[in-house]
Amino acid sequence: MALSIFSHQIDLALSRQQVMNLYSSFSFRGNIYVELIKKILLSLFLFQLCRIGFYLFNLNYFSGISAQQFGLIVAGGFKFDLAAALYINALVIVLVVLPHPWRFHGLYQQIVKYIFFFFNALAMAMNVIDFVYYKFTLRRTTADVFAQFENEVNKLGFAFQFLVDYWYAFLVWIFLVWLMVWLYRFIAVKGPMIKNQILFYAGSLVMMGLIAGLFIAGVRGGFRHSTRPITLSNAGEYVARPEQISLVLNTPFSIIRTWGKTKIKKEAYFSSEEALNAIYSPVHYPKDSTTFRSHNVVVIILESFSKDFFGVFNKEKEGGTYKGFTPFLDSLIQHSLTYQYSYANGLKSIDGLPSVLSSIPSVGVPYVLTPFATNEINSLGSLLRKRGYHTSFFHGAPNGSMGFNSFTNLAGFEWGIWDEPFLQFYATQLNSFPQPFASAFFSVSSHHPFEVPEQYKTHFAGGPQPINRCIEYTDYALKKFFASVSKMPWYQNTLFVITADHTSSNIQFGSHPNVLGYYNIPVIFFSPKEELTGIKPEIIQQIDIMPTVLGYLHFDEPYVAFGRDAWNQDREPFAFNYRENVYQLIKGNYFLEFDGTKSIGLYDLREDSSLQRNLLTEQPEEAQRMEQWMKALIQQYNNRMIDNRLVIK
């Protein structure tokens, strides 16, 4: 019996000769693990091609990058590409390492191949979409894009129009898919190479553990115990300027790493509320005892209306001959109050609406897409409704678009084509409302695909950009709107505010890629009754509009607004926005970049608008002053958002 067992053990064990035979028969070519490495390398190669394509499609936004800097960007991008490649090929990896002989079967390998094709083609599509979508957002697409468009009623039509308008990007994607399929021909699994079952399963289990460890290290961004999973902010290690971060990143990684995440967390830069409020407070108290005046308020938000389209703001351009595309608005500005330095707080419509109507800026993720979107908030609508105002909001897109209807409902506005007939309809509706009223209008005609009504195709001269004719058309629609409302009885008793949701990606003078170009929009206050005139050499921003309107009305109750009342000179003008995981602050002549921990850039905007000379070491006191102010703003914003303290109880 013992002899029989011993003999059986000898039969199972490998003899020395068998080991030598096994070694001599082993080949790297066709080995299932070697071929898995080839798959990952192919995926990484495609990611790098997409990075180069992204760069070439957006050269205007990444000017001045040296060959050495680009090399560092590509090297740093490898870490993010590896993480993304492992994420999107996770199912392929699992199917390859499962320790069973049928993983070598031809049909099984075909299934693995087409799964690889599907997920990598999808990843390339995400990257290629950002070839053209980047100019609208100036950042890699993140997971909030799905919530942003979830209520759009014609997603298929929108996608088809995108393919038609940007057919050249679609052809790039087709080429990349073809290249992937062609290169995959050089990946061929043979085996199993190890015939002994004990060694086969033991080796497979060892390889499973090894690959699992490598996978975890790859998606985390390193092997060190202290290494946390890399996220978007880690891309800042490989760039000279924050706007270059999008070159380091890739879109699949950006979407995966922001899924279900919020950038808002509690901060404790200041240990006490007293110390915090001494630097900055969003609570506004009545300045004097002047009686509240119940004037009507009409806020007109124009889609993609950059300051570049105005002649009055660009008189020095084109040798002093530039006329712009807004003749009516240029004439209206002569009788209005506006500002030389006026900025948006975000880069999308979904950022602009809360900023304009509720003085809530966007910090990475638009407010309406954060977990705090159900907080009780102040707005022009909610505050003025308490004073007996009739409120309304008009937008030419379907209800649900961009989450506008849900936000305006929370903001106290009752939810209420082409700009010309829509503005005429709006004028008629305003005339039917009881006074006083507060109303907001959001235009749509100056949006992609940049069409105007058939009867106006030859009416407007247009310009070098497709949007120019649309700007002329909307300006003309506003002229007709004001011609209509000027005859209505409520007109003289109304404050009109005209601004934009964000800048346009199609601009005339290329004032990009500095902070002025990215966020430079008009903010215009017009009152038929009062003398509001001049272009003030001051800073104003979207989040200043609500408190400035309330200041104009002599609103006499405390409220929360992150902007300032421009009539109140006790508060220093500033502009704030957030881009590529960097907080940006404009105060006085200076522009500060702050990464949440430390200041990384200080620039004199008047002397150095292209942001070439970092003054951090030359002017540490100014940097420290602005950094303290920035920290106070961030702490107030984050902590009040999390604690639901956006109203005065």
pLDDT in tens, 305-331: 999 899 999 888 878 888 889 999 999
| pLDDT for the residue 4 | 43
Quote the strand ranges of 546-589, DSSP E.
559-560, 574-579, 582-587
What CA–CA distance (Å, rounded) separates 525 from 544? 12
Structural contact between residues 89 and 43, judged by C-beta atoms closer than 8 angstroms: yes
Q: Which residue has better confidence, 211 or 417?
A: 211
In angstroms, what CA-CA distances link 255 with 120, 144, 230? Answer: 15, 8, 13
Place of tokens 């209206």: 332
Residues paired with 599 in a beta bridge: 594
Q: How much is the pTM? A: 0.75
Residue 169 has pLDDT above 60, yes or no: yes
Residue 122 has pLDDT above 90, yes or no: yes
Domains identified in the chain and CATH numbers? 23-258 (no CATH), 273-280+328-642 (3.40.720.10)
Q: Which residue has better confidence, 44 or 375?
A: 44
What DSSP state is assigned to residue 462? -
Over residues 143-154, the mean pLDDT reads 66
Write b or e for each residue in 507-537: b if 16 or more Cβ atoms lie within 10 A of its Cβ, otherwise e.
bbeebbbbbbbbbbbbbbbbbeeeebeebee
Place of tokens 């058939």: 454
Over residues 62-75, the mean pLDDT reads 89
Residues paired with 584 in a beta bridge: 577, 593
**Window from 68-77, 102-111, 231-240, 484-493 with minimum mean pLDDT:** 231-240
Residues paired with 593 in a beta bridge: 584, 601
* pLDDT (tens digit per residue) in 384-399: 999 999 999 888 666 5
**Window from 147-161, 359-373, 464-478 with minimum mean pLDDT:** 147-161
Structural contact between residues 254 and 142, judged by C-beta atoms closer than 8 angstroms: yes
18 CB contacts (<8 Å, ≥6 apart)? 196
Q: Which residue has better confidence, 407 or 520?
A: 520
Question: In a 3-state reduction of DSSP, which class is residue 17?
Answer: helix
Place of tokens 């509706």: 429
Cβ atoms < 10 Å from Cβ of 84: 28
What CA–CA distance (Å, rounded) separates 399 from 252? 30
Closest CA to 412 of 388, 384, 433: 384
Question: In a 3-state reduction of DSSP, which class is residue 70?
Answer: helix
- DSSP result, 192-225: -----HHHHHHHHHHHHHHHHHHHHHHHHTSSST
* pLDDT (tens digit per residue) in 543-571: 999 999 999 999 999 999 999 999 988 89
| pLDDT for the residue 5 | 39
No. of helices (H) and no. of strands (E), the chain: 22, 13
Residues paired with 591 in a beta bridge: 586, 603
Closest CA to 148 of 376, 349, 361: 349
Residue 23 has pLDDT above 50, yes or no: no
Task: Count Cα neighbours of 576 within 13 Å in the Cβ-side half-sphere.
Answer: 26
Q: Which alpha helices (H) appear in 221-326, and where do they start and end?
A: 245-248, 251-258, 273-279
| pLDDT for the residue 337 | 97
**Window from 57-71, 161-175, 329-343, 358-372 with minimum mean pLDDT:** 358-372
What CA–CA distance (Å, rounded) separates 177 from 128? 11
Closest CA to 366 of 382, 384, 347, 381: 347
Over residues 39-48, the mean pLDDT reads 96
| pLDDT for the residue 147 | 64
What CA–CA distance (Å, rounded) separates 26 from 70? 41
114 CB contacts (<8 Å, ≥6 apart)? none
Quote the strand ranges of 303-456, DSSP E.
337-343, 390-395, 437-442
What CA–CA distance (Å, rounded) separates 398 from 448? 16
| pLDDT for the residue 15 | 53
| pLDDT for the residue 1 | 41
What CA–CA distance (Å, rounded) separates 387 from 29? 79
Structural contact between residues 384 and 392, judged by C-beta atoms closer than 8 angstroms: no
What DSSP state is assigned to residue 138? S
What CA–CA distance (Å, rounded) separates 629 from 530? 35
Encoding tokens for residue 195? 């015939």
Encoding tokens for residue 448? 């992609």
Residue 11 has pLDDT above 50, yes or no: no
What CA–CA distance (Å, rounded) separates 134 from 141? 8
Q: Which of 2-11, 165-174, 317-326 has the highest mean pLDDT?
A: 165-174
Structural contact between residues 575 and 586, judged by C-beta atoms closer than 8 angstroms: yes
Cβ atoms < 10 Å from Cβ of 334: 10
What CA–CA distance (Å, rounded) separates 2 from 410? 83
Cβ atoms < 10 Å from Cβ of 184: 16
Q: Which residue has better confidence, 262 or 188?
A: 188
- Strand order of the sheet with strand 582-587? 574-579, 582-587, 590-594, 599-604
Structural contact between residues 499 and 337, judged by C-beta atoms closer than 8 angstroms: no
